[in-house]
Amino acid sequence: MNVIIRKMKIADYEQLYKLWTTTSGMGLNNVDDSKEGIEKYLERNPNTCFVAEIENEIVGAILTGHDGRRGIISHTTVSEKVQRQGIGTKLVDAALEALQKHGIMSTCSHGHLNYFTIQKLNSTKSLLHYQLSGGKINL
């Protein structure tokens, strides 16, 4: 299985919406998660949102942005048919790397506690991610 992680674009919206609405635990609203709402978010955060593709099908996604000092991760999802294969970790790693390129070293996540992912931090530790601050995890 060849998984491609790439930047999200508004042309992905229909596949994203289908993924979000068919994955248990996702909460959406009519304003922020509309096509217009996601387009606005991507315009503000063009280099920090990612999708995972397998054979041109989007099977995972992560929305990530920042306010200049702290990153926000939300809408992290992986299709139930390919969960537990490291796709969520790859998405989170891509998002954290993109935030670090913007000088963001503190990140918080939105979501249901059961869906937080175990991930690599600085390629040396695997911990439940709540907040990354200067290369250390703060629980």
Label residue 25 exposed, middle or buried (CB < 10 Å: 0-12, 13-18, 19+): exposed
Q: Provide the b/e sequence for 63-93 (b: ≥16 CB within 10 Å).
A: bbbbeeeebbbbbbbbbeebeebebbbbbbb
pLDDT at residue number 63: 92
% of the chain surpassing 90 pLDDT = 47
Average pLDDT over residues 56-75: 90
Please say whether the beta carbons of 57 and 40 come within 8 A. Answer: no
Q: One-letter amino acid identity for 62?
A: I
Residue 37 phi, psi dihedral angles, 5° rounding: -65, -45
Q: What is the pLDDT of residue 54?
A: 96
pLDDT band per the 50, 70, 90 thresholds, residue 24: confident
Q: Tell me, what's the pLDDT at 138?
A: 39
| Predicted TM-score (pTM) of this structure | 0.78
Q: Which of 25-29, 59-63, 101-105 has the lowest mean pLDDT?
A: 25-29
pLDDT above 70 coverage of the chain, percent: 75
Q: Which residues pair with 71 in a beta bridge?
A: 66, 107
82 has pLDDT over 60: yes
How many structural domains is the chain composed of?
1
Q: Is pLDDT of 47 > 50?
A: yes
Range of the domain at 34: 3-137
Assign 133 a pLDDT band (cuts: 50, 70, 90).
very low
The domain spanning residue 57 has which CATH number? Answer: 3.40.630.30
The answer to whether 108 and 116 have CB atoms below 8 angstroms apart is no
